[in-house]
Amino acid sequence: MKILLIGAGGREHALAWKIAQSRRVTKIYCAPGNAGIAEIAECVPIKADDIDGLVRFAKSNACDLTCVGPELPLVLGIVDRFSGEGLTIFGPTRGAALLEKSKVYAKEIMRKYGVPTAGFETFGDPAKARAYVKEKGAPIVVKADGLAAGKGVAVCKTVDEALEAIDLAMVRKIFGDAGDRVVIEEALSGEEASILAIADGKNWVILDSAQDHKRVFDHDCGPNTGGMGAYSPAPVVTGELLKQIEREVISPMIRGMEQEGYPFRGVLYAGIMVTKNGPRVLEFNVRFGDPETQVILPRMKTDLVEIMEASAGGKLAGRTIDWLPKACVSVVLASGGYPGGYVSGKKITGIETAKAAGTVMVFHAGTAKKGDAYVTSGGRVLNVVGLGGTIREAVTATYEACGKINFEDMHYRRDIGARAIGRVEEELP
């Protein structure tokens, strides 16, 4: 089989690594890929949102299956286009991808099908949004409706902060038309987890849990990022809670989307807040998470290519996924200044030394090749990923390897997995 993988980050490097293990795969192309992915796949310089270019490439190279990493091509309707051309592709149609593209739509679907989420109202008029915030008081959460590169959510401690967030999104339009409408919702507290399911329109398989670390600094301080590290499984999600999330979130969403006329195929990613009253959905994504994928796939024993094909072909019924009974941790090594401005082109040393012990893998997120050397080419540069018998073992191996890698102004969090270790070891007799 020939596979076309779309995307360029650490998530796509992990996908390429996993796809390459399938006995059925003979060739992987990645558009556009990065320097790490280039070791496994043939990288082709087509951008992820160049749908025409991707269709032409998949056709002329007779690709048997296309796997989409990022949300943008999905929201642009790549699945509809590929399917229309008779090409097999793994992911949701444009209609189903609205669950990620529009927070207003996602909340309305959740309300309609009784999926537990924060209480909310939606607004297209800033005056009404302001009045609602004043009536409800703080803390309160203001979310721009559309895609805003992860920056469209403001968790506000005061009414003034919320009024400012409404002004930025709806009046000053800092997210463009993504801020034409907003969702204003109740602030929830608890621990977050990411629950992913792969669906075929009717049936689904649920993946083991993961937890992301979104803030840039230790102890969840500083601004939000694309994700500074992750681990899987997330001890906060007990087996019983995972079943509850499957029953109360995944099942009604898959049935609901089918009823809406937009059957969901591909990855349905639920960002969950585990509150004292049970799980509540914070958001849906319609793709694999980054960096969750980097810790979920190393634990997956089942052939992912078969699952993706079954999803695209409506044949997931009766499928299951087997997991390694191990913990997996990923630490993101980031450029100085990230998530703000940063300088690229810094020479990276120590990747081979870090891998030599045989206990970790290194997935590239933002790297390029300059002569024989790797250089930085993004905010998130590398994901160091370790497996262990326990979460503590995985954390130790991962951080030991991180210490061997260097580039100028590199920074990373030192507390990835700390909460999970606390939870697991507290529960020991």
Q: Are 78 and 46 in contact (CB under 8 A)?
A: no
Proportion of the chain in helix, strand, coil states, percent, rounded to 5: 35, 30, 40
Other Cβ atoms within 10 Å of 21 Cβ, number: 12
Q: What phi, psi does 214 have (nearest 5°)? A: -85, -30
290 contacts ligand GLY (rule: CB under 6 A): yes
CA dist 254 → 105, 169, 263, 366 (Å)? 15, 31, 7, 34
Cβ atoms 116, 195 nearer than 8 A: no
Identify residues 64-123 at the interface with ligand AMP (CB under 6 A).
118
Q: Computed over its alpha carbons, how large is the radius of gyration of the chain? A: 21
**281 or 387, CB closer to ligand AMP?**
281
228's contact among ligand GLY, ligand AMP, none, with CB below 5 to 8 A by partner kind, is none
Nearer to ligand AMP, 130 or 214 (CB): 214
**Token digits for 348?**
């990276």
Tokens in use for 231?
Answer: 């681990």
Residue in 80, 200, 212, 309 binding ligand GLY, rule: CB under 6 A: 212
Q: Binding of ligand GLY at residue 100 (CB under 6 A)?
A: no
Asked if 7 interacts with ligand GLY (CB under 6 A), we say no
Please list every residue from 198 through 227 that binds ligand AMP, using CB under 6 A: 214
Applying CB under 6 A, does 31 fall inside the site for ligand AMP?
no
Could you give the angle at which helices 304-312 and 10-20 cross, rounded to 10 degrees? 100
**Using CB under 6 A, which residues numbered 271 to 310 contact ligand AMP?**
271, 282-283
Contact 61, 230 (CB under 8 A): no
Q: Smaller CB distance to ligand AMP: residue 108 or 400?
A: 108
- CB neighbours of residue 199 within 10 Å: 25
213 to 232, contacts with ligand GLY by CB under 6 A? 227
Partner whose binding site includes residue 346, from ligand AMP, ligand GLY, none (CB under 5 to 8 Å by kind): none
Positions 153 through 192 that interact with ligand AMP (CB under 6 A)? 153, 155, 185, 187-188, 192
Binding partner of residue 285 among ligand AMP, ligand GLY, none, CB under 5 to 8 Å per kind?
ligand GLY
Would you state the structure tokens that stand for residue 187, as one six-digit string?
């602030």
Among 15, 54, 141, 327, binds ligand AMP (CB under 6 A): 141
Q: Return d(Cα 408, Cα 53) in angstroms, integer.
A: 36
Contacted by 141, from ligand GLY, ligand AMP, none: CB < 5 to 8 Å by type: ligand AMP
Q: Tell me which residues touch ligand GLY (CB under 6 A).
A: 212, 227, 285, 289-290, 292
Q: Tell me which residues touch ligand AMP (CB under 6 A).
A: 118, 141, 143, 153, 155, 185, 187-188, 192, 214, 271, 282-283
